[in-house]
Amino acid sequence: MSATAVATDETEPLIHRDPPPKRPFGLARHSLVLARRSLLKTLRNLGGMGDATIMPIIFLVMFVYLFGGAVAGSTHDYLQYIFPSILVMTVIIAGMMATGINLNVDIKKGVFDRFRTLPIARLAPMMGSVLGDMIRYFVAIAVLFGFGSLLGFRVETNVLAALAACGLTVLFGFCLSWVYVLVGILIRETSGVQSVILLSMFPLAFGTDMVAPVDTMPGWLQAWVRVNPVTDVMDASRGLLTGGPVADALLRTLIWSAGLLVVFVPAAIWAYRRRT
C-alpha cells in the first residue's frame, strides 16, 4: 500500500501544452506552395502549353486572312480590330481548358484526399491550382503579342494602357476560372468536364463582337452579345489597345469579375467539401 502511495507521489504531473499558434497569412502561403506544384505540372506538360499558345495564333491568322478583306476592307485594319478580342479569347481558352480538367484529374487520383489530411485551408488547393495555371495566361499573352507584332499589329495608345488591357484580361480569366473549378469538382468524369468546357467556350468567346461589329448581327444574336460578359472584356481591351471608349466596358468587366468570385468561390468550396 505504501509502495503504491510512493509511486503515486513520485508521478510527475501532466504537462498541458497549448496548441501551436497559427502563423499569419496561412491561406496565402499554402496557396503559393500548391501553386508551385501546379506550375511544375504545367511546365512539364508541353502539350497543354502548346494548346494555349498555338491555338490563338491559328485563330488570329485564320480570321485576319479569311475575313479581313471582306469585313474591314484590309487585313491590317482587321488585325487592329480583332487582335484585342483574340487576346481575351486566349486567356479564356488557357484558363478554361486547364483549370477544370487538371483539378478533376487530381481529385480522381486522390491527391485532394491527401490535402484534406494536411493542416491547410480548404480553399488553398483550389486557389493553388488556379494560380499555378495562370502561368499559361502570361506565356500565351507574350507569344500572341510577339506574333501579332510580326503580322503588323501596333498598340495605338501607350504602354501603360496595353499593360492595363493585359491585366484586365488576366483578372477576368482568373475570376472565370472559378466557374470551371466548380465544374471540375461536380462532374466526376474528365471527358464530361471537357465536353462542358468546349460547349461553353463557343458561345462565350464567339458570341461577342470579336469577328464583326454587333450592328451587323441579327437581333436575337445582338441580345446575347450585349449581355455576354466576354463582350465587355473585349471592348475594354480594344479601347485600351487601339483607342476608343473604355470606361463603361471597364466598369462592367469589374462588376462581372466581382460577381463571379462572390458566387463561384463559395460554391466551389461547398462542392469540394462534399466531393472529398
Tens-digit pLDDT profile for residues 93-145: 766 667 777 778 777 777 776 777 777 777 777 787 778 777 778 888 899 99
Q: Which residues contact 10 (CB under 8 A, 6 or more apart)?
A: none
Q: Which of 83, 71, 87 is nearest to 152 (CA)?
A: 83
d(CA 97, CA 62): 21
d(CA 68, CA 178): 34
104 near 268, Cβ under 8 Å?
no
95 near 136, Cβ under 8 Å?
yes
103 near 185, Cβ under 8 Å?
yes
273 near 188, Cβ under 8 Å?
no
Q: Residue 25's pLDDT band (boundaries 50, 70, 90)? A: low
Torsion of CA 204, 228, 131, 120, to 10 degrees: -110
**In the predicted model, what is the mean pLDDT of residues 47-71?**
80
In the chain, the amino acid numbered 63 is F
Q: Residue 2's pLDDT band (boundaries 50, 70, 90)? A: very low
32 near 125, Cβ under 8 Å?
no
Task: Please report, in angstroms and rounded to a whole number, the separation of the first and last CA atoms in the chain.
Answer: 55
d(CA 197, CA 97): 7
Digit-coded pLDDT (tens) for 141-200: 899 999 999 999 999 999 999 999 999 999 998 898 888 888 888 888 888 888 888 888
- pLDDT value of position 196: 85
- pLDDT value of position 237: 95
Q: Which of 94, 87, 269, 258 is nearest to 185 (CA)?
A: 269
Q: What is the DSSP track for 125-148?
A: HHHHHHHHHHHHHHHHHHHHHHHH
- Residue bearing cell 476608343: 244
173 near 91, Cβ under 8 Å?
yes
Q: Which of 128, 175, 137 is nearest to 48 (CA)?
A: 137
d(CA 233, CA 75): 23
- pLDDT value of position 263: 94
- pLDDT value of position 219: 87
What does the angle CA 152 – CA 158 – CA 160 come to, to the nearest 5 degrees? 125
- DSSP, collapsed to helix, strand or coil, labels residue 27 as helix
N residues, the chain: 276
User: pTM for this one?
Assistant: 0.81
In the chain, the amino acid numbered 187 is I
Please say whether the dihedral angle defined by the alpha carbons of residues 111, 117, 119 and 121, taken in this order, is positive or negative.
positive
Which value, in Å, is the radius of gyration of the alpha carbons in the chain?
A: 25
- From residue 71, give the alpha-carbon distance in Å to each of 58, 67, 78: 19, 6, 7
